[in-house]
A = this chain, B = another copy of it.
Amino acid sequence: MFMHQKRLQYTVRVAETNPGLANLMLEQFGGPQGELAAAMRYFTQALGEDDPGRKDMLLDIATEELSHLEVIGSIVAMLTRGAKGKLAEAAEEQAELYRTINGAGNDSHVTQVLYGGGPPLTNSGGVPWTAAYIDTIGDPTCDLRSNIAAESRAKIIYERLINLTADPGVREALGFLMTREVAHQKSFEKALYAIEPNFPSGKLPGDPRFSDTYFNMSQGGPERRGPWNQGPQWDYVSERERQMAVDGGDGGASVQLSSDEAATLERLRARTKSEPTVDPVTGADLGAGPGAGSTTLGSDEEPRPSKR
């Protein structure tokens, strides 16, 4: 069960209102790397988890991320608090209000016209949050890796936001939130490596014929190699012939059709077959206009008279 405490996990002190900055902060409120995504990622993993230690950790961190969602949302609410009343009360004449929400450095019209100055669950571009951001698949070694990556991404977005404002209260709160992502990443790393073995994920082993091969698919310039494709553990394959049909087959795709299926497919194929030997007049030919015909129709062609 969740409980709420009226004090924030970190005090929010904003120096002055700024709806344009508020809009950027939405990236960590309703954006793909934001706190709702984090909280829901860990919370849904916790529900499906049977390992008691991991389950507890996931609930701890999910709950903290909800508390962070509250902190970042409170920053947004403070930054838009002045603007919130203006539009509702029509406190300025129209042209001035228009400039306020649509001016340079203050792209906040979606936030204000649609959401009335409250913090919406969108990213800074106004795209609504979607659970498609959550990549949980229900295997702990995968999900922990996903969590590690997610924490590292969230850390960077906070770093970028810190670089964009000089307001000391905002910077301090963002610094706290950023640091906690680092701490969470460390926890998830420990949890991943507490499972042994954790690589590769799952139960099926890889096919040894293909697990140490590196296919050099991009060619034609200087090859810059590194530990990801050189050294004794890698078989580096550049010959195009050795990249194709690596099973030794013909590289085709085939299926056994029943005779009914084959017959039906043949009917479909006949009905829609292309006639490759005739050069038909096309809609583009018709549309190119009188003067343009010669560019697409050969000069000695009659526009397919035998067909009409």
Q: Are B136 and A261 in contact (CB under 8 A)?
A: no
Q: Are A44 and B252 in contact (CB under 8 A)?
A: no
Q: Are B2 and A66 in contact (CB under 8 A)?
A: yes
Q: Nearest Cβ in chain B — how far from A235, in angstroms?
A: 10
| Contact status of A297 and B233, CB under 8 A, knowing A3-B240, A282-B193 | yes
Q: Nearest Cβ in chain B — how far from A93, in angstroms?
A: 7
| Contact status of A166 and B224, CB under 8 A, knowing A127-B126, A129-B130, A149-B142 | no
Among B70, B78, B148, B233, the residue within 8 A (CB) of A145 is B148
**Chain copies in complex:** 6
Q: Known pairs A4-B219, A130-B131, A280-B307. 5 more at Cβ < 8 A? A: A9-B246, A40-B121, A43-B73, A77-B253, A286-B286
The 0/1 profile, CB within 8 Å of B marked 1, for residues 209-220 of chain A is: 111111111111
Q: Are A9 and B244 in contact (CB under 8 A)?
A: yes
Nearest neighbor of A49 in chain B, beta-carbon distance: B118
Q: Are A126 and B129 in contact (CB under 8 A)?
A: no
Q: Nearest Cβ in chain B — how far from A252, in angstroms?
A: 6
CA distance in complex: A104, B109 (Å): 12
CA distance in complex: A126, B131 (Å): 11
Interfacial chain B residues near A66, Cβ < 8 Å: 2, 66
Interfacial chain B residues near A178, Cβ < 8 Å: 204, 206-207
Report the 4 A-B pairs with minimum CB-CB distance, sorted nearest first.
A116-B138, A7-B251, A48-B118, A11-B249
| Contact status of A89 and B203, CB under 8 A, knowing A47-B70, A115-B137, A288-B197 | yes
Residues facing B in A217-276 (CB within 8 A) are 217-233, 240, 243-258, 260-261, 264-265, 267-269, 271-276
Q: Are B133 and A132 in contact (CB under 8 A)?
A: yes
| Contact status of A44 and B7, CB under 8 A, knowing A17-B257, A156-B139 | no
Q: Are A240 and B274 in contact (CB under 8 A)?
A: no
Q: Are B7 and A193 in contact (CB under 8 A)?
A: no
Q: Are A73 and B47 in contact (CB under 8 A)?
A: yes
Interfacial chain B residues near A113, Cβ < 8 Å: 24, 27, 124, 157, 160-161, 164
User: Can you name 23 A-B residue pairings with CB atoms under 8 Å?
Assistant: A2-B67, A9-B251, A16-B258, A17-B257, A24-B113, A40-B121, A43-B73, A44-B120, A47-B119, A48-B119, A53-B274, A57-B229, A60-B229, A81-B255, A87-B163, A98-B165, A139-B272, A153-B201, A180-B210, A183-B206, A194-B226, A231-B279, A233-B295
CA distance in complex: A117, B32 (Å): 16
| Contact status of A157 and B137, CB under 8 A, knowing A10-B246, A149-B148 | yes
| Contact status of A194 and B17, CB under 8 A, knowing A118-B48, A123-B126, A245-B11 | no
Among B47, B61, B155, B269, the residue within 8 A (CB) of A201 is B155
